[in-house]
Amino acid sequence: MFKRGAALALAASVTLSACVQTRQFADVQFTPPQGNYKLLVLRPDVSVGSLTTGGMVEPRADWTEQARKNIIAAIRAQQATRGGNVTIIERRNELPGVTADELAEVERLNYAVGQAIVEHKYLGEYLPTKSRRGLDWTLGQDAVRLGQKTGYDYALFLHAEDQVASGGRIALGVLGLAGCFVGFCAPNVGGQEQLDYASLVDLKTGEVVWFNVVQAGSQVPGIKFGELRTPQGAAQMVDRLLGRMKPGYAVRRAQGAR
Amino acid sequence: MKRLFSAALLLSAVSLSACSTVGGDSGYGFSSYSAVNVRRVSVGDDTLTVVAPRPWNRYRTNRFWDVRAVEDWTLNGPVLDGIMFVSGLKNNQAVVYQRRSDDQQVPVFRSDMTPPEITAMIESLFRVRAGALEFRTLGIKPRPFLGTNGFQFDYEHLDGDELWRKGRAVGAVVNGRLYLILYDAARSHYYEAALPDFEAIVASAALRGS
Amino acid sequence: MCMRCAEISRRSLLIGGGIAAATLHTGVAQARVRPSEMVPLVGPNYKPTERDEIGLWQEMERVEEEISGSNLLIKDPAITGYLQNLIGDVGGPAAKDFRIYLARVPEFNAMMFPTGFAIVFSGLLLRMRNEAQLAGVIAHEAGHFLRRHIIRSYRDQKRKTDIFAVGSMLAGIGGGAAGAYLGDYVQLAQLGTLLSLFRYSRGMEAEADAMGAKLLENAGYPPVEMANIWQQLIGEQQASARYRGKYRDRGFDLFASHPAPETRMADLRADAAEVTMPGKRYDDRRARYLSTIGPIRQTLLDDQVKLNDPGASQYLIQTLAQDGWNGLLRFYEGEVWRLRNRVHQGDDVRAAQSYAAAVVYPDAPADAWRWHGIFLMKKGRTAEAKAAFTKYLTMSPNAPDAAWVRQMVG
């Protein structure tokens, strides 16, 4: 219970694999939102940088800004096809009736839950009690309260990084782990990479109903995957991540039976 | 605690495989967890037995790094919740593997330790090995355990990932050895969610042969 | 920039098996930088104009947003305001542009980010003996900003090969797997990009030291206090090793084979001599420091002592006790021995003695009475133990362990 290794391993795995993959999990009872639903997208975490010949990543302000705009536009366009009302907030204090601290608590729990999902659903550390049970994690009452206070039906957490560590993670690292004294003043390993994940939380129940990871990577600098700074690249990413949202196992089986 | 090490192993294992890393939930293949079913099972050094009210997941131990008296279980993943069993820890042993020369160490157990000393040992465990930056003792009180005078320790801690976690430990020293069941989970939702499991497990605990 | 990164990256490299050992030698022969040569390269309201630096700034602005919202910060306005004022005094031309955050991490460290915000770890406040020392660390960090080290270091590293990058990464992982210290694994991958910026050449550290000495002198602090900080740090690390029996057992000391801290200390003394003006009165403003830190000192001590690094903790306590022993310090001395817990070396006896000594002082914390009682009870001095427990309950009737202690009193 003292270990959180998932994100590190996930990130490391990306650097050596040369392909694009997605794999989604859903609650067995999950039905993709349709019709007149209200979706809250919380602080999309987007970073884009360019890779130098030495393997270092150079954060590019213009690219990140471009990618952020593209991704937000792509999410709006994509969700509009389903009939949803989408609100995208960029800062913790932008939600009326919810304090920055309350939102921060939800985000922190979501981060830990996301790690657990990645480690136990994607990285091979399967939990026997959760085998063949779809996605079975929750954010509990904190998320339900968020829904009650804001009137949203779903919250979408989105993380997209193209080669650079995102601001939030850096902050956590510096403060929490205090990287330097631990002996990890180490630079990143080179290689073109893109890592995106998204989770959808039902704010009526608090359950994480759907989770998806996209990773695209190559060992060879110069090979480009879904460049987020182009509208097409961002749309492709959003489509890979959110576009093919599938219902849960129980729902699919019921549909099949009909 | 043992899974601190597994993270490094996991890392090296995963980074060597291309493409297969976004795996499936087949339920097969390598996992460090095995199922704990709803029946009496022995934990740690096998002198302690318990019954869980529903299936849990047991973390497989490693004979090189792990202290034999210690065993970890989880329901939703160790980031979110877990139970640590200490069964029959001997005098002068620590609950984790560590080198004598490590600067920061978890204090070793002594047979004559009082509950405040054992709880201080647990506090250092969280501070030294789990990156707890703030640790609050909520309560230490007497509580019968394994048919003897034991204690209950309630606490909460803020870790490097900005998440508050909360825990409860119930323990006793029997024949000079430490028996302890410790539950630790994210304070938001997860602690309350599996606390009844923990209480049922504690209530079911028995020493082999007694 | 990270106050202690030079030492630390060396430690991780040693643990990691010297994969990147060759890099250790870069800059070792760095000559001292003279404070008189150090002029700030940025003025007030500096904003970047070049592409790479603009990108870095934007990234760091988001980092700062996250950090300022973190629940790991100590937000006591008396202390954060004090730190903000200090950087306003020693920040040179950019003094008004800096922001400073205090994180609750029990380690000696401070770091400056490229956009001019700094993080100070709470462990630093436990280790500084006066305001001049704290201002010295802050001046050093300000020096990194004023000399534009982050972007210079970043551009410098871009020219290096990625073999170095991989080597360091492996070294770091090796250190972790070896159990050197394991905090939160998860952030490591994401940290990479940022932390690569924190590794400076010795030359840059020397520049920041020289610049810092000058800033400290200008603000009226005795510049020699910067050298004293390193002397204290060396003392602490030697004590830490000694208490774990490393010095004798292995015959090798990290800092004996790497003279950098000593060299740095010597250079800082030379810097101080150079900038000190004969006849000018300097003030280390010790009283103000102590009264400001006073309210959180017990928390700082507690966070340190419970890491059970007995040598370092004992060194710090004895350093603080140079101003006179009191109940708080005697109590924590007892805690150090109790947690080290080597009975064959008499640690339990020492702990009992320290608790007994602590409760004689009127400022002994309630916890001292409880532990005094526990150690009396273990020796069979039941009546005295009960008296101590009763005193504890009187002082702290709502203590979290009151139920257990009441049972002891019977």
C35 or C25: which carries more pLDDT confidence?
A: C35
H/E segment holding residue B151: strand B148-159
pLDDT of residue C197: 45
Q: pLDDT (tens digit, 9 = 90+) per residue, C89-132?
A: 999 999 999 999 999 988 888 888 888 999 898 999 999 999 99
Chain B CB contacts of A25 below 8 Å: 25
| Whether the Cβ atoms of residue C353 and residue C330 lie closer than 8 Å to each other | no
Mutate to test the interface with C, among B103, B112, B158 (most CBs of C within 10 A): B103
H/E segment holding residue B84: strand B81-89
Q: Is the dihedral of CA A112, A113, A114, A117 positive or negative?
A: positive
Q: Is B162 on the interface with C (CB under 8 A)?
A: yes
Residues forming beta bridges with residue C119, ordered by sequence position:
C101, C111
Residue A188 to residue C132: CA distance in whole angstroms: 37
For the entire predicted model, the pTM comes to 0.84
Structure tokens at C376: 């009396």
Residue A72 to residue A248: CA distance in whole angstroms: 26
Chain B CB contacts of A109 below 8 Å: 163, 186, 188-189
A239 or C201: which carries more pLDDT confidence?
A: A239
Q: Inform me whether the pLDDT recorded for C406 exceeds 60.
A: yes
The torsion angle over the Cα atoms of residues C226, C231, C234 and C237, rounded to 10 degrees, is -90
Task: Kindly determine whether residue B72 and residue A131, on different chains, have CB atoms separated by under 8 Å.
Answer: no
Chain C CB contacts of A184 below 8 Å: 12, 172, 175-176, 188, 191, 195
C-alpha distances out from residue C269 to B89, C200, C275, Å: 52, 21, 10
Q: pLDDT (tens digit, 9 = 90+) per residue, A131-151?
A: 888 889 999 999 999 999 999
Confidence band of A258 (pLDDT split at 50, 70, 90): low
Residue A21 to residue A227: CA distance in whole angstroms: 15
CB proximity list for C269: less than 8 A, separation 6 or greater: C224, C227
Task: Kindly determine whether residue B84 and residue A1, on different chains, have CB atoms separated by under 8 Å.
Answer: yes
Residue C112 to residue C119: CA distance in whole angstroms: 7
The crossing angle, in degrees rounded to 10, of helices C149-158 and C202-218 is 170
Helix (H, G, I), strand (E, B) or coil at C181: coil
From the list C119, C136, C118, the residue with the least C-alpha distance to C127 is C136
DSSP state of B108: P
Q: pLDDT (tens digit, 9 = 90+) per residue, B112-149?
A: 999 999 999 999 999 988 878 899 999 999 999 999 99
Q: Is B200 on the interface with C (CB under 8 A)?
A: no
Q: Is B19 on the interface with A (CB under 8 A)?
A: yes
Question: A63: nearest CA in chain C?
Answer: C55
Structure tokens at A84: 């949803």
Strand order in the sheet with B48-50: B41-43, B48-50, B206-207
From the list C32, C8, C7, C9, the residue with the least C-alpha distance to C19 is C9
Q: Inform me whether the pLDDT recorded for B7 exceeds 60.
A: no
Confidence band of A12 (pLDDT split at 50, 70, 90): very low
Structure tokens at C200: 């400076």
pLDDT of residue A222: 36
pLDDT of residue A70: 80
Structure tokens at B128: 């030294």
- % of chain B beyond a pLDDT of 90: 64
Place of tokens 């509950």: B115
Question: A142: nearest CA in chain B?
Answer: B188
- Greatest pairwise CA separation for chain B in angstroms: 55
C-alpha distances out from residue C22 to A185, C14, C19, C28, C161, Å: 16, 12, 8, 11, 13
Q: Is A194 on the interface with C (CB under 8 A)?
A: no
pLDDT of residue C20: 26
Chain C CB contacts of A164 below 8 Å: 59, 193
| Whether the Cβ atoms of residue B7 and residue A9 lie closer than 8 Å to each other | yes
- Among A12, A13, A108, select the one facing B163 at the smallest CB separation: A108
Q: B 127-156 residues with CB below 8 A of C?
A: 127-129, 131, 133-135, 137-142, 151, 154
CB proximity list for C345: less than 8 A, separation 6 or greater: none
| Whether the Cβ atoms of residue C206 and residue C213 lie closer than 8 Å to each other | no
**Which ranges of A81-229 would DSSP assign to H, the alpha helix?**
100-117, 140-150, 167-172, 179-182
H/E segment holding residue B82: strand B81-89
Q: Is B159 on the interface with A (CB under 8 A)?
A: yes
Task: Kindly determine whether residue B11 and residue A215, on different chains, have CB atoms separated by under 8 Å.
Answer: no
- % of chain A beyond a pLDDT of 90: 17
pLDDT of residue A51: 53
Place of tokens 């323990």: B171
Question: B100: nearest CA in chain C?
Answer: C244
Q: Inform me whether the pLDDT recorded for A213 exceeds 50.
A: yes
pLDDT of residue A22: 65
Q: Inform me whether the pLDDT recorded for A13 exceeds 80.
A: no
Q: Inform me whether the pLDDT recorded for A226 exceeds 60.
A: no
Q: Roughly how many angstroms between the first and final C-alpha of chain A, as a whole number?
A: 44
pLDDT of residue C109: 80
From the list C39, A112, C204, the residue with the least C-alpha distance to B77 is A112
pLDDT of residue C90: 95
Q: pLDDT (tens digit, 9 = 90+) per residue, C198-228?
A: 455 677 888 889 999 999 999 999 999 999 9
pLDDT of residue A50: 59
Size of interface B-C (CB pairs under 8 A): 116
Mutate to test the interface with B, among A1, A201, A205 (most CBs of B within 10 A): A1
Question: C378 in the Ramachandran plot: left (φ > 0), alpha (ψ -120 to 50) or beta?
Answer: alpha
**Which ranges of C255-346 would DSSP assign to H, the alpha helix?**
260-275, 286-305, 310-321, 327-340
**Which ranges of B61-114 would DSSP assign to H, the alpha helix?**
none
Q: Is the dihedral of CA B97, B127, B7, B168 positive or negative?
A: positive
C350 or C205: which carries more pLDDT confidence?
A: C350
Confidence band of A47 (pLDDT split at 50, 70, 90): low
Chain A CB contacts of B56 below 8 Å: 129
Q: What is the mean pLDDT of residues A233-250?
A: 74
Task: Kindly determine whether residue B18 and residue A17, on different chains, have CB atoms separated by under 8 Å.
Answer: yes
CB proximity list for A36: less than 8 A, separation 6 or greater: A83, A84, A85
Chain B CB contacts of A103 below 8 Å: none
Residue B112 to residue A235: CA distance in whole angstroms: 65
C13 or B199: which carries more pLDDT confidence?
A: B199
**Dihedrals phi, psi of C233, to nearest 5 degrees:** -65, -40
| Whether the Cβ atoms of residue A237 and residue A228 lie closer than 8 Å to each other | yes
DSSP string, C222-275: -TTHHHHHHHHHHHHHHHHHHHTTHHHHHS--TTTS--HHHHHHHHHHHHHHHH
pLDDT of residue C192: 40
* Burial (CB count <10 Å: 0-12, 13-18, 19+), residue C280: exposed
Q: Inform me whether the pLDDT recorded for C377 exceeds 90.
A: yes
H/E segment holding residue C182: none
Mutate to test the interface with B, among A109, A122, A127 (most CBs of B within 10 A): A127
Q: Inform me whether the pLDDT recorded for B9 exceeds 50.
A: no
pLDDT of residue A195: 57
Q: What is the mean pLDDT of residues C43-56?
A: 85
Strands (E), C104-241: 110-112, 117-121
Residue C270 to residue C262: CA distance in whole angstroms: 12
The alpha carbon of residue C67 is apart from the nearest alpha carbon of chain B, in Å, by 11
From the list C217, C219, C218, the residue with the least C-alpha distance to C227 is C217
The alpha carbon of residue C9 is apart from the nearest alpha carbon of chain A, in Å, by 6
Q: Inform me whether the pLDDT recorded for C160 exceeds 60.
A: no
pLDDT of residue A60: 67
Task: Kindly determine whether residue A178 and residue C190, on different chains, have CB atoms separated by under 8 Å.
Answer: no
pLDDT of residue C186: 28
Residue C218 to residue C195: CA distance in whole angstroms: 31
Residue C301 to residue C367: CA distance in whole angstroms: 13
Chain C CB contacts of A7 below 8 Å: 186-187, 189-190
Task: Kindly determine whether residue C192 and residue A189, on different chains, have CB atoms separated by under 8 Å.
Answer: yes
Question: B110: nearest CA in chain C?
Answer: C341
Mutate to test the interface with B, among C70, C301, C401 (most CBs of B within 10 A): C401
The crossing angle, in degrees rounded to 10, of helices C366-378 and C402-409 is 40
Helix (H, G, I), strand (E, B) or coil at A216: strand
Q: B 75-94 residues with CB below 8 A of A?
A: 75-84
Q: Inform me whether the pLDDT recorded for B203 exceeds 90.
A: yes
- % of chain A beyond a pLDDT of 70: 61
Buried b (16+ CB within 10 A) or exposed e, C138-155: bbbbbbbbbbbbbbbbbe
Task: Kindly determine whether residue C70 and residue B162, on different chains, have CB atoms separated by under 8 Å.
Answer: yes
pLDDT of residue C180: 23
| C53, amino acid identity | E
Q: What is the mean pLDDT of residues B159-179?
A: 94
Chain B CB contacts of C407 below 8 Å: 142
Q: pLDDT (tens digit, 9 = 90+) per residue, A58-113?
A: 666 677 777 778 878 888 887 787 777 888 888 888 898 899 999 999 989 988 89
| Whether the Cβ atoms of residue A223 and residue A192 lie closer than 8 Å to each other | yes
How far, rounded to the nearest angstrom, does the alpha carbon of residue A213 sit from its chain's CA centroid?
7
Q: Inform me whether the pLDDT recorded for C27 exceeds 60.
A: no
Q: What is the mean pLDDT of residues C252-277?
A: 72
pLDDT of residue A165: 47
Q: Inform me whether the pLDDT recorded for A49 exceeds 80.
A: no
Buried b (16+ CB within 10 A) or exposed e, C227-252: bbbbebbebbbbbbbbbbebbeeeee
Task: Kindly determine whether residue A3 and residue B78, on different chains, have CB atoms separated by under 8 Å.
Answer: yes
pLDDT of residue C199: 55
- Among C72, C182, C370, select the one facing B133 at the smallest CB separation: C72
Task: Kindly determine whether residue A180 and residue C5, on different chains, have CB atoms separated by under 8 Å.
Answer: yes
pLDDT of residue B159: 87
Q: Inform me whether the pLDDT recorded for A179 exceeds 70.
A: no
Buried b (16+ CB within 10 A) or exposed e, B61-96: beeebbbebbbbbbbbbbbbbbbbbbbbbeeebbbb
Q: What is the mean pLDDT of residues B51-79?
A: 87
